[in-house]
Structure 1
């Protein structure tokens, strides 16, 4: 039990551990932002293609 308390104190006092946690949180935030951006841009592009397809079909004379 004493060893566990000692390890916990060392981890608390170690600034490298704190920096690692901060970088991990930052990486998580960036990852979520990138995924959200890709989804939003993908949805927008899909809508643009649908609009273009509809416009082109309406402009094409029936044979």
Structure 2
């Protein structure tokens, strides 16, 4: 137990240890704040993301819009010409 206390005192006496501890506390507070905010506003965020998804999904593509895929109707082939045999 004494060695743990001794190591803690040495760590606390160094400036690097104190600065690291401060940054870790700030990081923990920021992460906790983000988690709490997302947790409290989760339903609103879900609605906002769905709205954006619908908006972006309805825009035309880079080709200028319209349906460019699928069957175009075509003629289906030239048929046979018979033999000369």
- TM-score calculated relative to the size of structure 2: 0.41
**Greater relative CO, 1 or 2 (CA 8 Å, sep 6+):** 1
Greater percentage in helix: 1
Structure 2: gaps (5+ residues): 49-85
Describe the SS at the equivalent of 2:41.
Answer: helix
- Structure 1, unaligned runs of 5 or more: 49-63
Give the drift of 1:4.
6.4
Q: How many residues align?
A: 48
Larger radius of gyration: 2
Q: CA deviation at 1:37?
A: 0.9
State the TM-score, normalized to the length of structure 1: 0.53
